[in-house]
């Protein structure tokens, strides 16, 4: 894999803190656009997105690393997938992707926050992430609705285009790694922290 890609987990590790709300909106818009694009071209799309499988490139694009269902990413997998009830139809796969993207972004705004400190999100973004992480798949928001919400947010506030935000996040990692001579360890422990996300999300 090209070294111009970094994972979302590496970005947060280099930063040592969570994503900001504006970054989440831009990343959500960019990821939803990529998923719509990818889902029309490929039938065998991986149905889990996690902080270690969402790849950000130095050119401002996104890619998805194929990931099997392991203990590390199971926190980000949709409940129907964990219970072995997952259907392989496109709408079902989309709903699973929406769930894991919601969990991944929630993890990224919760990253390294003290346990007693609430996540700082607007009601709009919080309710959108919550509707992405509904346990019942038919109650989840779909990709087109996510795109509409992101685009209206883009118009209503001064958000940077996704490509620009992605480039900035990747630059942070390379800037950080210049001081340490090697890229951050990509094996960020996900499961410990992310097990609390479900409780905080519904709390």
Task: Name the least confident of 9-13, 15-19, 23-27, 187-191.
Answer: 187-191
Residues 2-29: what's their mean pLDDT?
90
Whether 180 maps to a domain, the answer reads yes
Residue 58 lies in a domain: yes
Residue pair 153/122 in contact (Cβ under 8 Å)? The answer is: no
Confirm whether 59 is domain-assigned. Answer: yes
| Predicted local confidence at residue 43, as pLDDT | 54
- pTM of this structure: 0.84
| Residue 88 DSSP SS3 | coil
Query: Is pLDDT larger for residue 11 or for residue 38?
Result: 11
Confidence bin at 168 (pLDDT 50/70/90):
very high
Distance (Å, whole) CA 131 – CA 124:
11
pLDDT of residue 180: 55
pLDDT one-digit tens code per residue, 108-142: 998 888 878 888 899 999 999 999 999 999 999 99
Residue 65's domain comprises 5-193
Number of domains into which the chain is organized? 1
Task: Give the per-residue pLDDT at 1.
Answer: 41
203 lies in some domain: no
Instruction: Examine residue 199 and state whether it is found in any structural domain, yes or no.
Output: no
SS3 of 85, please? Answer: coil
Q: Enumerate long-range contacts of 91-96, CB under 8 Å, 24 or more apart.
A: 91/142, 92/137, 93/39, 93/45, 93/47, 94/35, 94/39, 94/142, 94/143, 95/137, 95/138, 95/140, 95/142, 96/47, 96/48, 96/137
> At 73, which CATH number?
1.10.510.10
59 vs 4: CA distance, rounded Å:
8
Which carries the bigger pLDDT value, residue 37 or residue 68?
37
198 is a domain residue: no
DSSP 8-state class, residue 169: H
In a domain, 202, yes or no: no
Query: What pLDDT was estimated at residue 184?
Result: 45
pLDDT at 6 over 80: yes
Q: What is the pLDDT of residue 66?
A: 74
Range 156-182 average pLDDT = 81
pLDDT score for 49: 92
Residue 36 belongs to a domain: yes
């Amino acid at each position: 894999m090209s070294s111009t890609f970094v994972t979302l987990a590496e970005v947060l590790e280099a930063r040592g803190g969570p994503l900001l709300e504006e970054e989440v909106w831009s990343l959500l818009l960019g990821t939803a656009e990529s998923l719509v694009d990818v889902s029309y071209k490929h039938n065998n799309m991986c149905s889990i997105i996690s902080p270690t499988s969402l790849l950000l490139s130095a050119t401002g694009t996104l890619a998805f690393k194929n990931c099997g269902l392991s203990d590390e990413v199971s926190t980000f997998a949709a409940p129907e997938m964990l219970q072995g009830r997952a259907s392989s139809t496109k709408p079902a796969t989309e709903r699973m992707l929406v769930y894991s993207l919601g969990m991944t972004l929630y993890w990224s705004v919760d990253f390294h926050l003290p346990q007693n400190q609430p996540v700082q999100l607007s009601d709009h973004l919080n309710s959108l992430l919550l509707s992405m992480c509904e346990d019942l798949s038919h109650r989840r928001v779909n990709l087109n609705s996510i795109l509409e919400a992101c685009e209206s947010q883009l118009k209503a506030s001064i958000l940077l285009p996704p490509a620009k935000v992605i480039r900035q996040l990747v630059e942070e990692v390379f800037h950080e790694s210049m001081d340490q001579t090697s890229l951050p360890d990509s094996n960020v422990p996900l499961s410990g922290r992310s097990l609390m996300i479900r409780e905080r999300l519904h709390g």
